[in-house]
Structure 1
Amino acid sequence: MARLLYRVGRFSARHRLLTFLTWTLTLVVLAVITLTGMKFSDGAFEIPGTESSTALNTVEREFPDTATQPGTGSLQVVVQTRDDENVTDPAAAARIIELRENLSGLPHVETVSDPLDPANPYISPDLSTAVLSVDLSGITDANAETVYDEVLEAAENQRDEDWKTVEVGGSLGSGVPEILGPSEIVGVAIAFLVLVLTFGSLRAAGANMVGAIVGVGVGILGVLASSALYPIGSITPILAVMLGLAVSIDYGLFVLARFRAELRAGREIDDAIGISVGTAGSSVVFAGTTVIIALTGLAVVNIPFITEMGLAGAVAVLIAILMALTLLPALMMSMGHNVLPRKERSRYKRSVAPTRESGLVSHRGKEQNTRIGYLERWGASVVKHPLISVTGAVTLLVILAVPVLSLKTSLSMPGGEDPESTQRAAYNLIAEKFGDGAQNPLIVLAEGQAISKAQPDIMSTLESIHDVQTVFPSGVSTTGDTAIFTVIPESGAVDEATKDLVRDIRESSNAVPGVSLQVTGVTAVGIDVDQKLGDALVLYIVLIVGLSLILMMIMFRSILVPLIATAGFLLSLGAGLGVTVAVFQWGWLGSLFAAPLGNPLLSLLPILIVGILFGLAMDYQVFLVSRIHEAHSKGLPAREAILDGFGRTAFIVVAAATIMAAVFGGFALSPSSLVASIALALAVGVVADAFLVRMVIVPAILSLTGEAAWWLPKWLGRALPHIDAEGSALEAPTVSTVPDDFETTSRVQ
């Protein structure tokens, strides 16, 4: 593979104008498709085949009026009187009439309910709160936000003067998502600063960032363009940007760092590009492929929206790999020796030019001492005190993982993802005044002969079940063999009591002779999806662990090293999820994040974190241990190989992890609790994996085990394929052109 990538890198560099043109045309074409055909789904999460999904399909078929029609939506305007007034008082009733008239005059508004209608009132028992239901039509992705803002403005016009509070609940679909907000941009800026400090050169940092931005642009436009054929959820492109940006910067960093090292060693520019793509590029391909396999592997859980997110992330990573192998070499060719700091370029020219004139042109110079003193001391300390290092790091990671024991999940966040939004305020006010279950009804589908006669028995059966607040019939089909009932629970959508209620209704499915009962509705669908995701998580972790063992065994020709890598990943995963539970479920630092106290994590988060973090953890394992393995395979004793490999790669791993943490940290401040929780888990997981697992636990255990770490049975060695991830096929005896006293100003290898 190294030789193939060597040729790819040189071709892209020598034909850089063609490379630039290809990437530019790709951007333009995808942008046109995106702008003309981009579509987003309504955000409904369902799993085909579950009881709730099957029953929901039956309800929509037998009762078409209950199905949500395309382009329609509804909002709830919630008004609360001041303490000395009731909503039925003449002055308050007049304001409600005025509000109804203002809302009815808005574009796209079809009807506005009257909460004071004696036949169908919607006022709280204490007469302090009323709810107006606003039905809308003609809603599209393009105008959803505008329509919502118009309703909100009409409601807010009465908020301060006349009412204690006026809030707008509900949503009108996803709309066009905000992919990069202020906090995300700050994260990218921090990543760029890290690149500048790493390279000691604005040009090198700029090339890395330009390549990453172009790669992310192509990746996200590709995902959005695909929505013209298959509408996607609003979170999907955000996940693709978050992951694509992080890996694009990191992969570019690895290749650029190797390119600079080859230039310092005296190679010609095009040869240095080929070598850097053949060596560091091989590791990029291996690490990126691992991420892609992990993300596409999400399809095994057979949950459509999880598969969609995994595929979008995989596309972003694939584009990042292609960027590092093609676009970045073209940028490196354009910069040449300008990729080095200015002082280093001038000293390089004075040192190398005389040797070239004499005909002794080098293709592999002496590797310069570009290590960082404190990192070398860190590595030496870990190797010198391995038992203490392992014990301390593992203990800290286990402590961080403790909150996972109280992990609770839910498919959706009650009241929306932003805890500061008017949507959440409306939800909380209705729950307070009308009961926790008022906004989370269960739909019970009854099928059988003579349903009309059986209705009293069905209602009696449902009312006798614990946690049921109210039951009322909602319709009988024209054929007379199907009916639906609305059940209002006493508990909220994410309460365990509601899950128990769904289970109890299903256990009573045959309690009425000749009638079969099924539970559906948004709340029941959410409970089923949450259960399915929890069951799938165990299977997925088993598959990921198995994949990790096999891939690491192939790459490092060892049994122990894969076991260390996999155990380290599980520790990092526990730390990432543990901190996220503490913040988003326990409410620690809740004021800093979009983290309402007491709410569960969204149920798709754990399985997404497993897939993404696995791939990222393997990145650091590959780049660190491959250098240790390379040194050991060249004859260095186990302990010296650890110090040598650690010294050459530690700073790159630190820089790469810092960049990823900065990018994810920016997204962790998103107002969307789903985006923020995923980003926080990834940020903590990456930091834990890079700084504790790969830079403490791995070298410490390798030091403890010595030569045994690289043991592999001969029969297994013959059976496993050989992968040249270190690019040894490109090595050749060479003459150095750089004097021994040449010192680099950059700190990267």
Structure 2
Amino acid sequence: MATLLYRLGKAAYRRWPLFLAAWVLAFVAVGGVAATMSKPMTDAFSIPGIPSEEAADLQSELFPGSVDAFDQATVNVVVAAPEGSTLDDPEYADRVDALVEDLAALPQMPDGSDPTNPLPADPVEAAAAQTEQIVAAQTASGATHEQAEANAQALSPLAEGGRVGLITFDFDVESFADLEPSTVEALHDTLDEHRTSDFTVEANGSGVTGMTELDGKAELIGIAVALVILVLTFGSLVAAGGPVVTAMVGVGLGITGITAMTAFTDIGSTTPMLATMIGLAVGIDYALFILARYRTELHHTDDREEAVGIAVGTAGSAVVFAGLTVLIALAALSVVRIPFLTTMGLAAAATVFIAVLVALTLLPAGLGILKSKAFGGRVRHYAPKREADGHIVNNGVRWARLVGRAPIAVVLLVVVVLGSLAIPLKDLHLAFPTDSTASSDTTQRKASDVIAEAFGPGRDARMLVVVDAREIDDPEERGAAFGAVAQWAASQEGVENAQVVMSNAVTDKDGNVTEPATGAQVMITPETGADDTATEDLLADLRDSEAATEAETGTTIGVTGLTAITVDVSERLADALPIYLLVVVGLAFILLTLVFRSLLVPLTATLGFVLSVLATLGATVAVFQEGAFGIMEGQPIVSFMPIFLIGLVFGLAMDYQVFLVTRMREAHVHGMSTRDAVVDGFRNSARVVAAAAVIMISVFAAFMLIDEPIIKSMGFALAVAVLFDAFVVRMALIPALMYLLGEKAWWIPRWLDKLMPNVDVEGEQLDRPHLRPGQRSLADEENLEPIDDVDEWEARPETAGEDAPARA
């Protein structure tokens, strides 16, 4: 591995025009597909095989032309007169008519159709007439008068008392992802125009929000912080810009590729954001590690091509295996067979793969272009202290020795602190975000609050029971079966109303039935909202008694609707989590065993990950679900966040494990004791790992500025996860455990050691002629002339320039 990457690095440095041309060609090819063949992104969180999707398929079969609940671009405009007034007052009736007229003129509205205005000349009288009509029809069908009135009110767009009304319509699009931003903006402008202090006009529904788009602010903030940290790390403006430029190239190609892939498969709207988050972070980090190693190699030679080869062969090997752990964690999302999660994982994995390739090829090519200017624009010089034997004493060394004084206390402290932070996890509530959980200053939340108060919280959480009666021959028995299913649904605890709202009977122009109904739809209005656990319990109760009802009525039934689908998706995600963890941890454990040639080092790495991810989830629950610190109003955690977080955090955690512990192993294989190797690993890697972690934290935290609950919670969780894992687990718990294990940390059965291939992450097989004989080991490298900062060395007249002799 090291030898192959060594040759690749030298080739990229020497033949940089070819490598640069290859990357430009890749951009042109992928960009051409994206520009000519790409399609709009979607937000269909459906999962084939879940009960609600099967019911939706049955609905499409019985009722051709029905639209998937996730695809509808629905808008519910709620209007309310002030207390003491009603909407049939002339002043407010006129306002409603004007509002309806303006809504009908919105872009992407169906041709020649207006929203259903629940308020004609006399809305109260019209609502009463509608109620009388429904009551008459249902009592004629055998319903009691009281039940018929309740059914009429459940369907009425006018709340009792006549003060609050609903105007509901769908935009004329195949999916709400097809809504133009200008359409959503026009809708909000219309609401603002008609809203006054004494007349409430708010709206919720999928057609109100539209697609969340990246505005670039989060990325720019993350990049700005990364530049500051890189300047402090390298003391050079040019060197600081290198990792940022290469990371942006990788992310740019990755996002372009995701756009191009929409021509061949459905891609979720949040996929580019998540790919940007992870791609930008790892792209900067991977380039940082190779560039830092390149600077170290320049201590020993002025042959820059050789230094690049050694840097790519050693640090590049660690980058490859670190990238592989991230790829495993992300690509393994496909094993749970959840389409939208699979695309998110594969897209992010592809972006990480590109970041690895960029670090291994484009960065060395860039160094070939810059040559002696790679560390130009110096802003400071680094002059660390040294011990009597010439070894550097930096903050990494000081910290490692501090941990070594009381490793047991450090282990206990880390376990107690992270364990305490994980306590809120016991109250974790997974669900999909709804309008009722949106920020209180949004029109969606205001509309949901008004609807819940006037119509009941279940008005926005309706479920649909699809009834298939094709196995029943007698049309009259079919009608009785439809009524029996409605009665069964209404008898469930937590149901406010259940009634047959549609059948597939065919009638002629005079209203005579020509083809009796073979299917019907029963609408269920729960007593509780979509994000309430009681609604989830109601769905479970319906499913538990579904088989008995089918046997009793001779029908086939299924529960669907937006609420049912989101609950099913959440449950499937929870069920898939153990399988996912088993695959990811198992494959990563094998990979780390190959890298470290040890069983206990991968084991401690995995246990440390468990601690950090539990603490992260606990902190996320406290902040986003329970509303701690006022950062967010309390709302359920989005269902796919834990599984995606675990994948990303595991990959990133292993990144730091590989970069930090490989330097420990490099020192150990060259003769150092485990204790000295831990200190030496921190001497050479702690500064760079800390800089990389802070960069990742900054990049992820910047995404909290996006006004989208999913992205905001993911940004917070990832930033906290990196904080916990990098600084608490990798830099405190892991060295403490290494001290306690001693030489046993590197134990591996002989038979297993013989079976495993030698991947040579440490670059033991590399020929390094620029070092003096007897100084090929890491332990001896620090005994060279005591100059740690390459800028200081380059400034010397006898070593400046491309043709200067080698130091050694």
Residues 524-535 of structure 1 correspond to what in structure 2 (within 5 A)? Answer: 524-535=564-575
The alpha-carbon distance between structure 1 residues 580 and 255, as it changes in their structure 2 partners (threshold 3 A), is same
- Would you say 1:681 and 2:717 are equivalent positions? yes
Look at both structures and tell me which one has the larger radius of gyration over its CA atoms.
2
Q: After superposition, what is the alpha-carbon deviation per residue over 1:300-354, rounded to whole angstroms, capped at 9, x for unaligned?
A: 1111111010001100100000100111001111122322356799999xxxxxx
Q: Tell me the SS of whatever aligns to 2:606.
A: helix
Which among 441, 465, 473 is matched to residue 444 of structure 1?
465
Query: Residue 527 of structure 2 aligns to which amino acid in structure 1?
Result: E
C-alpha separation between the residues in 2 aligned to 1:203 and 1:52?
A: 56
User: Is the contact between residue 397 and residue 680 of structure 2 (CA under 8 Å) also seen in structure 1?
Assistant: no
C-alpha separation between the residues in 1 aligned to 2:68 and 2:749?
A: 62
The Cα shift of 1:267 comes to 4.1
C-alpha separation between the residues in 2 aligned to 1:49 and 1:24?
A: 43
The alpha-carbon distance between structure 1 residues 376 and 162, as it changes in their structure 2 partners (threshold 3 A), is same
Partner in structure 1 of residue 623 of structure 2:
583
Q: After superposition, what is the alpha-carbon deviation per residue over 1:564-605, rounded to whole angstroms, capped at 9, x for unaligned?
A: 100001111112111111111010133x3xx331x2101100
The alpha-carbon distance between structure 1 residues 139 and 149, as it changes in their structure 2 partners (threshold 3 A), is farther
What runs of 5+ residues in structure 1 fail to find an aligned partner? 349-367
C-alpha separation between the residues in 2 aligned to 1:142 and 1:535?
A: 32
The alpha-carbon distance between structure 1 residues 454 and 641, as it changes in their structure 2 partners (threshold 3 A), is same
The Cα shift of 1:70 comes to 12
Query: Residue 73 of structure 2 aligns to which amino acid in structure 1?
Result: G
- Would you say 1:156 and 2:192 are equivalent positions? yes
The Cα shift of 1:369 comes to 7.6
The alpha-carbon distance between structure 1 residues 419 and 215, as it changes in their structure 2 partners (threshold 3 A), is farther
- Would you say 1:315 and 2:350 are equivalent positions? yes
Which among 565, 569, 575 is matched to residue 605 of structure 2?
565
Q: After superposition, what is the alpha-carbon deviation per residue over 1:227-272, rounded to whole angstroms, capped at 9, x for unaligned?
A: 1222311001111111100000000000110111111221411111
User: Is the contact between residue 41 and residue 268 of structure 2 (CA under 8 Å) also seen in structure 1?
Assistant: yes
Partner in structure 2 of residue 352 of structure 1:
none
User: Is the contact between residue 381 and residue 789 of structure 2 (CA under 8 Å) also seen in structure 1?
Assistant: no
Q: Tell me the SS of whatever aligns to 2:159.
A: coil
Which shifted more, 302-311 or 187-196? Answer: 187-196
Residues 389-428 of structure 1 correspond to what in structure 2 (within 5 A)? Answer: 389-415=410-436, 420-428=441-449
Which among 228, 246, 256 is matched to residue 221 of structure 1?
256
Residues 364-513 of structure 1 correspond to what in structure 2 (within 5 A)? Answer: 373-415=394-436, 420-448=441-469, 449=472, 450-478=477-505, 480-509=517-546, 510-511=548-549, 512-513=552-553
The Cα shift of 1:183 comes to 3.5
Residues 689-728 of structure 1 correspond to what in structure 2 (within 5 A)? Answer: 689-728=725-764
Query: Residue 668 of structure 1 aligns to which amino acid in structure 2?
Result: M
Which shifted more, 81-90 or 526-535? Answer: 81-90
C-alpha separation between the residues in 2 aligned to 1:700 and 1:263?
A: 32
The Cα shift of 1:90 comes to 2.0
Partner in structure 2 of residue 744 of structure 1:
789
The alpha-carbon distance between structure 1 residues 629 and 243, as it changes in their structure 2 partners (threshold 3 A), is same
Q: Tell me the SS of whatever aligns to 1:728.
A: coil
User: Is the contact between residue 696 and residue 722 of structure 2 (CA under 8 Å) also seen in structure 1?
Assistant: yes
Partner in structure 1 of residue 43 of structure 2:
43
Q: Tell me the SS of whatever aligns to 1:125.
A: coil
Residues 104-123 of structure 1 correspond to what in structure 2 (within 5 A)? Answer: 104-110=104-110, 111-116=114-119, 117-118=126-127, 119=130, 121-123=156-158
C-alpha separation between the residues in 1 aligned to 2:786 and 2:116?
A: 83
Q: Tell me the SS of whatever aligns to 1:223.
A: helix
The alpha-carbon distance between structure 1 residues 741 and 538, as it changes in their structure 2 partners (threshold 3 A), is closer
Q: Tell me the SS of whatever aligns to 1:107.
A: coil
What runs of 5+ residues in structure 2 fail to find an aligned partner? 120-125, 131-154, 384-388, 506-515, 773-780, 793-808
C-alpha separation between the residues in 2 aligned to 1:388 and 1:271?
A: 44
The Cα shift of 1:558 comes to 1.3
Partner in structure 1 of residue 149 of structure 2:
none
Query: Residue 633 of structure 1 aligns to which amino acid in structure 2?
Result: V
User: Is the contact between residue 664 and residue 678 of structure 2 (CA under 8 Å) also seen in structure 1?
Assistant: yes
User: Is the contact between residue 243 and residue 287 of structure 2 (CA under 8 Å) also seen in structure 1?
Assistant: yes
Question: Normalized against structure 2, the TM-score is what?
Answer: 0.85
The alpha-carbon distance between structure 1 residues 589 and 670, as it changes in their structure 2 partners (threshold 3 A), is farther
Query: Residue 571 of structure 1 aligns to which amino acid in structure 2?
Result: L
The alpha-carbon distance between structure 1 residues 666 and 70, as it changes in their structure 2 partners (threshold 3 A), is closer
Q: After superposition, what is the alpha-carbon deviation per residue over 1:100-154, rounded to whole angstroms, capped at 9, x for unaligned?
A: 1122233332321112253374122243322111332257857521112112211
Q: After superposition, what is the alpha-carbon deviation per residue over 1:493-551, rounded to whole angstroms, capped at 9, x for unaligned?
A: 12221112112212222233323332111111111111111011122122222223222
Q: After superposition, what is the alpha-carbon deviation per residue over 1:86-108, rounded to whole angstroms, capped at 9, x for unaligned?
A: 22222111111111112223333
Note the aligned Cα RMSD (angstroms).
Answer: 2.6
User: Is the contact between residue 390 and residue 697 of structure 1 (CA under 8 Å) also seen in structure 2?
Assistant: yes
Which shifted more, 484-493 or 735-744? Answer: 735-744
C-alpha separation between the residues in 2 aligned to 1:743 and 1:686?
A: 29
User: Is the contact between residue 40 and residue 175 of structure 1 (CA under 8 Å) also seen in structure 2?
Assistant: no
Which among 309, 319, 322 is matched to residue 274 of structure 1?
309
The Cα shift of 1:729 comes to 1.3
The Cα shift of 1:648 comes to 0.8
Q: After superposition, what is the alpha-carbon deviation per residue over 1:351-381, rounded to whole angstroms, capped at 9, x for unaligned?
A: xxxxxxxxxxxxxxxxx98956333211101
User: Is the contact between residue 39 and residue 232 of structure 1 (CA under 8 Å) also seen in structure 2?
Assistant: no
Which shifted more, 389-398 or 282-291? Answer: 389-398
C-alpha separation between the residues in 1 aligned to 2:441 and 2:790?
A: 48
Query: Residue 103 of structure 2 aligns to which amino acid in structure 1?
Result: L
Residues 14-163 of structure 1 correspond to what in structure 2 (within 5 A)? Answer: 14-67=14-67, 73-110=73-110, 111-116=114-119, 117-118=126-127, 119=130, 121-137=156-172, 144-160=180-196, 162-163=198-199
Q: Tell me the SS of whatever aligns to 1:221.
A: helix
C-alpha separation between the residues in 2 aligned to 1:70 and 1:55?
A: 14
C-alpha separation between the residues in 1 aligned to 2:696 and 2:791?
A: 21
Which shifted more, 102-111 or 147-156? Answer: 102-111
Partner in structure 1 of residue 585 of structure 2:
545
C-alpha separation between the residues in 2 aligned to 1:430 and 1:370?
A: 70
Query: Residue 82 of structure 1 aligns to which amino acid in structure 2?
Result: P
The alpha-carbon distance between structure 1 residues 408 and 346, as it changes in their structure 2 partners (threshold 3 A), is closer
Partner in structure 2 of residue 207 of structure 1:
242
Residues 220-369 of structure 1 correspond to what in structure 2 (within 5 A)? Answer: 220-340=255-375
Tell me how many residue pairs correspond in the alignment.
724
Which among 196, 209, 218 is matched to residue 231 of structure 2?
196
Q: Tell me the SS of whatever aligns to 1:98.
A: helix
User: Is the contact between residue 47 and residue 339 of structure 2 (CA under 8 Å) also seen in structure 1?
Assistant: yes
